[in-house]
Amino acid sequence: MILYVTEQGAVLSKELGKLNITKDGKILSEVPLKKIEKVNLMGNISLTPQILNYFLDNKIEVVFMTQYGKYRGKLYTNEYRNVMLRLKQYERSTDESFKIRMARSIVIGKLRNYYDYLVSRSKNLPKGLLSEEMAAIRKTQEKVAAANSVEEIMGFEGIGSKFYFQAFSKLFKSEEFNFEKRIAHPPKDPVNAMLSLGYSLLYNEIEAAMNAVGLDPYLGNLHTIDVSKKSLLFDLTEEFRNIIVDSFVINLINKNEFTPNDFEKVEEGIIYFSKEALKRFINRFEERLSVKMKYHLDDEENYTRTIFEKQARHYARVVLGDDPDYIPFYRK
């Protein structure tokens, strides 16, 4: 099981084969240790030395996030490092033609998923409501295909995303939710709060898949490479944003599973989930990841986490020269 702990001030400890979650000396929850595959800690949560040693000895990944879902760091041991793959990644990082080709594929894939999603949603909306945005995204795809630099491709990615979120704002059935534009940090409205947390959780999943393959998350193609930026992680997340998070958020709101009352204003005007709403969102996100989809390269039905790893392996094969082209994931 994937365990999330969101209770501020909670303490995780180990006793007789169980993980105890306590606060102020009172037990909040008990979980059999053998069932735990991964732990996500959100905010001010402590680990006793005993449970820390258990996680290290049993290679259980522990992810540390802020109370609002922003990634801070990880605890894991014996990270899988494919030396030959990483050497090839370093070599590819200086190959401008490879980087342009990869950046082009990533952005075209992202825009294609945007376009396909809007086409599917437009069938149940007034005729022509999304036509302008869909046409603009299609035209932007064509420009990306002809682009000759990573900077140019990044510029078109921004343009395509602008038109997509313009259309995205028209997809809500409830007038209680107002979405004007994407604001990542800090979120100023409930929709952006949902998107931001969803993307943070998605990043964690994609990085876990990359670690399993042995990819260096810092050596990307589309996003700028610098000392502290996991460029490849951002690259490989792009194609999944709409499929995993955006459509998920739209469905939660349109099915009235969340209302504005599930959010509250916190420090510096940030809008975030109420305590119970946060738990519901995380539970629903885990349910989303338990859904099977058809993997586009072999037509097999796989759980979502398996698809993340398959796609990371596909990217690795492209880096090594075993696959000729990178084909971003799309729903079949």
pLDDT along the chain (332 residues), means of 10: 94 94 94 94 95 93 90 76 90 94 97 97 94 97 95 96 96 87 85 95 94 92 76 96 97 94 86 93 96 96 97 97 96 83
pLDDT, residue 137, reads 98
pLDDT, residue 184, reads 76
pLDDT, residue 142, reads 96
* Phi, then psi, of 101 in degrees rounded to 5: -60, -45
pLDDT, residue 176, reads 87
The secondary structure of the chain in percent helix, strand, coil, rounded to multiples of 5, reads 50, 15, 35
The stretches of the chain forming alpha helices (DSSP H) are 49-57, 83-92, 96-122, 131-146, 150-168, 190-213, 231-237, 247-254, 275-289, 304-320
The letter for the amino acid at 77 is: T
CA 14 – CA 129 distance, rounded (Å)? 56
Whole-prediction pTM: 0.92
Record the tokens describing residue 307, joined without a space.
Answer: 């698809």
Task: Please calculate the CA angle 294-299-303 and round it to the nearest 5 degrees.
Answer: 35
CA 256 – CA 250 distance, rounded (Å)? 10
Domains of the chain: 2-75 (3.100.10.20), 83-109+172-320 (1.20.120.920)
